[in-house]
A and B are shown apart, each in its own frame.
Chain A
Amino acid sequence: MDLVLVNLIDGLVTGLLLFMLSAGLTLIFSMMGVLNFAHASFYMLGAYFAYQISVYLGFWVGLLLAPPLVGVLGALVERYGLRRVHQYGHVPELIFTFGLALMIEELVQFIWGRNAVNYVSPEILNFTAFSIAGNAIPAYKVFMIFISLGIFIALLYVLTKTRVGMIIQAALSYPRTVEALGHNVPLIFMGVFGVGTALAGVAGVIAGPVLSTFPGMAIVLGSIVFVTIVIGGLGSLGGALVASLLIGWLTTFAKAYNIRMEDILTGVGFSKPEPIWDSMWQDLWTITSPQIADILPYLLMVLILVFRPYGLFGKRDA
């Protein structure tokens, strides 16, 4: 029972981290109709920028400065890259961001090398907040949870209660009308892209010390972010939150409990072929849940797309 609580907390941390990435991605998608393949690359840039700043000025300055830097970079990419490609249609846009992701990875390797860099959490948070049954919950994880929740609340507030948020929401549904009312829609696009990438940057800054900062970190997380927003429903912020937490808990629990296919199959009434190593079905019989934990989200996504193409909370077709 204690372990369940620990896993709930771990899953929450993973889920909230995923949410910070998917929130920006889904905002960008609903506004501009483009799935940003390079989104996780901005997450990686956030971690690397923060690392570089932390070398000179410490972790906290990095946390403060890196996300805006990433945001500005994102806005520049939108202004000078994406806007140009936009005229050719959605497929070239998607391909552009795909190329951008490759390019950012190569650049990061060029600048910071191919090994992981030594980006660590601040000294002040290096203690165990509490332990449950011998499992330590580091203070840093608690800090991550609070940062993510803070950002979620701030985002919700801006989108629903402020004038800027109203305009963004309006531009989401009726860009032409909003433009006719005198708002600068391209500027809003650029702003949203910048904020979205900055959010990914924040995720990178706080995840870097835990998940290690290396050139492959974008790829490891990249496609799972897509999966999240597709499951949640493209363009739905609430859906992104639910899907992130769902994936966080699903993968954590699949890893934490050794559910074996053998037990399921015998439970259903099949009998295990003996000896198992000569059987055609040996691989099916020996599957365990930790083995497939990290591919479960893909399975979930395919199933959802087949049966409910607009995702859990999506209102419109992708």
Chain B
Amino acid sequence: MTDLTQKTAHVPPAVTLGNTLPWILSIAFLAIAPQIFSSNSAITIMNQMGITIVFALAYNMLLGQGGMLSFGHAVYMGVGGFACVHIMNMETFFSYLPLPFLPIFGGVVGMLLAVIVGSFSTRRAGTVFAMISLGVGELIAACSVIIVVFFGGEEGISGDRTYGMPFFGIEFLQHIEVYYLTAFWLLLSAFLMFMFSRTPVGRMANAVRDNPERAEFLGYSSRWVRFYSFVASGFFCGIAGGLFAINYEILTEENLNLATSGGILLMTFLGGAGFFFGPVIGAVVFILLQTVLGLQTDLWALYVGALFLATVMFFPGGFAGLLMMHVTPIRLGKMHVLYVPYLKTFIPGILAVLGICSVIEIVFHARHAPLGDEDMTIFWTTFNSHSIVAWIVAIAIAVIGVWLTKKAAPGLVEAWHEANTPDKGASA
């Protein structure tokens, strides 16, 4: 299990600018973000993003790095969070516990649950693992309304974070204080998870994902490798649960159910399961879509669903995959070849998408708006959704957009090939 000496031959230096720069930038960004987005609601949403990123990264320890598809992962975060609220409610104990240490307890509880479930679920990978995770997820979610003592029924259990021991005089009354706590745990957990992916176990998880048989021949038990990944993932899910408990001070059945489990799968895949930072992008984009788009339109779930399907079908690497596709052109110094074709394709492409969305919104409004209320507003334009003009304009924008995109697409493909081919004479 520890015999990895053959690898040490070409280990790169541990600390370089290349691998520390992203971390330094992240720290700097997290530190100044509340200055830019200073309203309480922006901070609430950033807190939510932080928690979700921890959860998504933990989920990706299984999906991306271990190739294990879990359909019931919300329970590890949820149970960790429930445990933290229970600790908040233990008055004497909690009054001696500084709040920033609370997520550790969530992590430990999440890990314990993962040890129990993992002991039988990780024996097999693939469909069996996915189905066990679905079954266990459903069972625990259903138990949440039956076992009232621990889960508090459908209204959940709640606590008060401010009863903890003040931490250097901070009582965590304000959102901004909670933000820095969340940001700290986000960085710490992300760093630890990154380091985990660099340990022998983390490396072996990749090997087991790609070819379990070969890994077995090399003398590794693929079952135990899966088990360790699963337990580690459970720990960080529990941390996310603890952060949730601190932020919202309430946990409910919602934190355990299949919709939450499905959501985390969705955003991890959307961001790109194949890259460490993929889930980060996925979580940020998904929450922005959910809150901002959700405020704009009732049909947000339809658009997110369409985006998700398109990602699975055309860019299985997710957003991170799309970004990383550009590494070769940048290395070759040929990004400039792509600029014009990109503009030529994406401007009409965006136009087409907006046009199609407008058509959908108009149809929806025309069918569901109250009688007499025929005015609708999209893209800062107010018009009558029942008038033929609006329909024609929206359809025309969509058709023209699609047509222009189609026309420009071959040029983009050509430019893409060009950008990915080294110039003659130059060696790649």
Q: Do chains A and B touch in the complex (CB under 8 A)?
A: yes
Partner of B308, one of A81, A94, A99, A110: A99
Known interface pairs A298-B135, A299-B139. Does A98 touch B301 (Cβ–Cβ under 8 Å)? Answer: no
Please name the residue on chain B nearest to A34 by beta carbon. Answer: B127
Beyond known contacts A92-B316, A95-B269: 15 more, CB 8 A cutoff: A85-B313, A91-B67, A95-B69, A98-B262, A102-B305, A110-B302, A280-B149, A298-B142, A302-B132, A302-B135, A305-B132, A305-B135, A306-B132, A309-B124, A318-B124
B130: chain A residues at CB < 8 Å are: 35, 94
**Most central of B138, B146, B258 by chain A CB within 10 Å:** B138
B134: chain A residues at CB < 8 Å are: 223, 226
A95: chain B residues at CB < 8 Å are: 69, 265, 269, 312
A292: chain B residues at CB < 8 Å are: 142, 146
Indicate the size class of the contact surface on chain A.
35 or more
Asked if A270 is an interface residue, CB under 8 A from chain B, the answer is no
Partner of A298, one of B63, B139, B262, B312: B139
Interface of A toward B, CB cutoff 8 Å: 35, 81, 84-85, 88, 90-92, 94-96, 98-100, 102-103, 106-107, 110, 113, 223, 226-227, 230, 234, 280, 282-284, 287, 291-292, 294-295, 298-299, 301-302, 305-306, 309, 317-318
Grouping DSSP codes into helix (H, G, I), strand (E, B) and loop, the B interface class, with mixed when no group exceeds half, is helix
Indicate the size class of the contact surface on chain B.
35 or more
Give chain A nearest CB distance to B61 CB in angstroms.
15
> 9 tightest A-B contacts by CB?
A318-B127, A103-B305, A106-B302, A302-B135, A295-B142, A99-B308, A298-B135, A298-B138, A96-B312
Give chain A nearest CB distance to B304 CB in angstroms.
8
CB pair B306 A103 closer than 8 Å: yes
**Mask of B315-329 contacts with A, CB within 8 angstroms, 1/0:** 010000000000000
Grouping DSSP codes into helix (H, G, I), strand (E, B) and loop, the A interface class, with mixed when no group exceeds half, is helix
CB pair B69 A317 closer than 8 Å: no
B101: chain A residues at CB < 8 Å are: none
CB pair A302 B139 closer than 8 Å: yes
**Most central of A35, A302, A306, A317 by chain B CB within 10 Å:** A302
CB pair A317 B128 closer than 8 Å: yes
B250: chain A residues at CB < 8 Å are: none
CA A301 – CA B142 in complex, angstroms? 15
CA A223 – CA B299 in complex, angstroms? 25
CA A189 – CA B306 in complex, angstroms? 25
Please name the residue on chain A nearest to B145 by beta carbon. Answer: A291
CB pair A302 B313 closer than 8 Å: no
A223: chain B residues at CB < 8 Å are: 134, 138, 258
CB pair B262 A110 closer than 8 Å: no
Please name the residue on chain A nearest to B153 by beta carbon. Answer: A283
**Mask of B3-45 contacts with A, CB within 8 angstroms, 1/0:** 0000000000000000000000000000000000000000000
